Structure 1
Amino acid sequence: MKTIYATFKILSEAGGEMRGKEVVDKIRDTVEFDEYETHIYEKTGYVRWESVLHFYTIDAMKAGFLRKQKGNWIITSEGEEAYKKLKPEELVEIATKKYWEWDAKNKKKNTKNDVDDDELEENKSQSQKALLDQYEDVASSGIREFILNKNPYEFQDLVGALLEAMGYYISTIADRGPDGGIDIIAYTDPLGTSQPRIIVQVKHRPNEAVSSDEIQKLSGTLKRNSDVGIFVTSGRFSKPASKEAVHSREHIELIDFDRFITLWQEYYNKFSDEQKNMLPLQPIYFLGTNE
């Protein structure tokens, strides 16, 4: 109960969104736990309070209070309102009630109050989803840490490899030093005789948001009428930056960290072995659910 309420508090104070691993780390540093809560499950190696937290986030998502997207936890406007108006036990009670309302529509008849080991075992479907959720967070965090350890030029090379896997032909990759706002130039054919010419700006700033000014600068490098701009960042785009791209006279495509990883996964089989080693992935399949 205290962990899910702490989650809402952390997300609210962070502006509504944070990576799941960062939320869990912050809870670990700010919430006191007893010996029972810090017990480690032998089967999974996870700590009890972390498993219970992920278990209850399923309720919160079905209640419309929380969303998860590629490792990010996002509090909704409904969740923000519930957090500000309700006591911890009331918030959890409503989230749990809404989960079972949803569950009833799917013709299930289980009931639950507080979570203990027996109930976690009985409700295998929700426990399984919570466990998969933990695995996904660990996987996302591992990929993110790997990229964080890359330098700007290594990240630039990753972007170049991705474009090649997507079928584009790289004409130029900027050397170290000032690049005039152009890191990569690519075409849709080997000789660069077909439109458009693709101008790519790459920023390796995992903990920062790209500003609208930077989008404008990319727009300024598109000299030909057929030029297309792509801005790739290992961080994210500010709302003004996204708005600037949408309303730009030129076509500017935005690729943030999450979209970059999605594309890397989608085109992974098209990479050469050397390119795969730049950001190696290992697919693992778990039994899913029908929900």
Structure 2
Amino acid sequence: MLVDGHHLLYRAHFGFPRRVTGSSGEDLTGLFGFVALLRKAHREHCPGQEVFVVFDAEDGAADRAENVPGYKAGRAGADHSPVVHLPAVKQALDAAGVRWLEQPGCEGDDVLATLAKLAVVTGREVLVFSGDRDLYGLLDGQRVRALNTQLPAGRQLVTAADVADRFGVHPVQWPDFRALTGDASDGIPGVAGVGPVTARQLLAGGRRLEDLPETASGRAGTGLARARAQWQEVLAWREALRLNAHVPVPDDLLTGRPTPGLVPAGQLLTEAGLW
């Protein structure tokens, strides 16, 4: 199980069902929730399997922002208070025997993509624990699936087939699809007037941006003309949305050894002196 660390921390801080405070009165919801949600996911979805957590580097988005002005710019004004607990989260993971990585200069999604590729090459199945749709580009049959525990029971495991059924595109087309429709969370505006239905029509048959038809009728034709009018921007957006599965990470990050089952969050934080 590969874990999107920042996504889980923010989800724990803002979405945990109750606020949790420490003995000093400090709000520790993000820290407590992170451990509790991670423990639950491990126990219910991949007990006895290896868990590895990946965090975004502080400068991870710099290269993409240089090529695409406005990339993730909207996040600057967001509430980033959960990151105050990031050092404690890492200490808790160390205490629990869960390995983690924050690769300098890299976004966590690229590290997740790299580790997923390395695991699949060795014949292992991968579960990517995140609610971030940017990671849909990783999905590959039953070998790589996503786990989003915010979805209703029975729909929490997301496969490549699920993406195709819902959006009409295959995971490999996901950056093309989002470049056309936009991705507000990443500051990608997309092509005005091109929504999911039009994008699905343009990408039908497994087409990529380079394979778009010369002509199209109706709404698809209008969308095609608008995409052509800002073609270089569309290509740059897709490049920003593509996952880099070739991050230079140490070869021994994934050990293949089962991660010990986590103890309850309160117990772990107490034993680690973080409570």
- With the length of structure 1 as denominator, give the TM-score of the two structures: 0.22
Q: Tell me which protein shows more strand as a share of its residues.
A: 1
Max radius of gyration: which structure?
Answer: 1
Higher relative contact order (CA 8 A, sep 6+): 2
- With the length of structure 2 as denominator, give the TM-score of the two structures: 0.23
